[in-house]
């Protein structure tokens, strides 16, 4: 039987997750089809109802705008996803037999975005106790809050267009114990230029105005910018950051690191994935090979 997995989101056509996952499963010799499914929040319950009883499903990758909604749809949530209330990974676990009949699979939620952000920033060489800022306040920002806490940041500033709409980031900060300031995005340029780490969780093009402010200011940017948006690339803010002398980590790095964890969960692999599997995942999206 052909096994199945998919990435869910809206829009989703730009996603590189299919390339990453397909390369991994091919190298592992597993017959797992991985597709991209365009899905909105209102459509999510019906989709999950349809796949629960299908024994071929092994996992779902979850992207915007579904991460918070998915946390309410799964049967249980594990790890840091429980603290954050944000799920980007769903694993189908076989249900116990009842009266001789196989039940629908249990859906278990995880968050691998945190590991993706932590590893991508560590790979860039960030030191201990970095000053930190986050652009955007949604589901990925919540993961960024947890990642910065793990990286040793003493506090973080979150910049959003509307300070009343950063509930997910605020909740994450409370859950992991990271002091958080929520500020207006319009005031971000001078502050982020001096930060050791900046994580942009804004959608593609949403940081273009900020990039223009950075470029016009002529300020140096000595820190590390992780831009979670990877299409188009380079983004305007990545280009402005690099022009100021800072280090840019493309969102593709974060995507790669979190996908490695997803593949491990979807396949039930015990321990780290073999290096050759990670190599073909890197090759599939044009990322440099690295040691995990």
Give the active site residues.
67
Select from 150, 144, 152, 195 the least CA-distant residue to 172.
Answer: 144
Running DSSP on this structure, what letter comes out for residue 232? S
Contact by Cβ (8 Å): 149, 176: yes
> What ranges in 58-162 are assigned the alpha helix state H?
67-71, 80-84, 113-123, 139-150
11 preceded by a cis bond (ω within 30 of 0) = yes
Residues 120, 253: Cα–Cα separation, whole Å: 6
283 preceded by a cis bond (ω within 30 of 0) = no
How wide is the angle at C-alpha 142 spanned by C-alphas 19 and 20, nearest 5°?
A: 5
Residues 123, 29: Cα–Cα separation, whole Å: 29
**Sequence-separated (6 or more) residues with CB below 8 Å from residue 170:** 137, 180, 182
Q: Measuring CA to CA, how many Å separate 122 from each of 27, 116, 126, 148, 212?
A: 27, 10, 6, 11, 28
């Amino acid at each position: 039987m052909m096994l199945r997995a998919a990435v869910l989101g809206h829009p989703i056509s730009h996603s590189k997750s299919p390339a990453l996952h397909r390369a991994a499963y091919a190298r592992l010799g597993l017959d797992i089809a991985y597709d991209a499914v365009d899905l909105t929040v209102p459509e999510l319950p019906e989709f999950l109802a349809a796949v629960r009883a299908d024994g071929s499903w092994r996992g779902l990758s979850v992207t915007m705008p579904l991460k918070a909604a998915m946390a309410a749809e799964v049967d249980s949530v594990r790890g840091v996803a429980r603290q954050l209330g944000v799920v980007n990974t769903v694993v189908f676990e076989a249900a116990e037999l009842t009266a001789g009949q196989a039940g629908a699979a249990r859906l278990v939620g995880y968050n691998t975005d945190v590991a993706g952000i932590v590893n991508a920033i560590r790979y860039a060489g960030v030191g201990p106790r970095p000053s930190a800022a986050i652009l955007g306040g949604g589901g990925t920002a919540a993961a960024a809050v947890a990642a910065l806490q793990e990286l040793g940041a003493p506090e973080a500033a979150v910049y959003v267009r509307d300070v009343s709409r950063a509930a997910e980031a605020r909740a994450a900060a409370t859950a992991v114990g990271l002091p958080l300031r929520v500020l207006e995005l319009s005031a971000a340029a001078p502050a982020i230029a001096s930060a050791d780490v900046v994580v942009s969780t804004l959608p593609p093009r949403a940081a273009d105005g900020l990039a223009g402010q950075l470029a016009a200011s002529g300020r140096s940017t000595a820190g590390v910018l992780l831009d979670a948006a990877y299409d188009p690339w380079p983004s305007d803010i990545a280009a402005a950051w690099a022009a100021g002398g800072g280090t840019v980590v493309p969102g593709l790095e974060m995507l790669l690191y979190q996908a490695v964890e997803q593949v491990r969960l979807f396949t039930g692999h015990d321990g780290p994935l073999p290096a050759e599997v990670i190599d073909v995942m890197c090759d599939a999206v044009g990322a440099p090979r690295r040691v995990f």
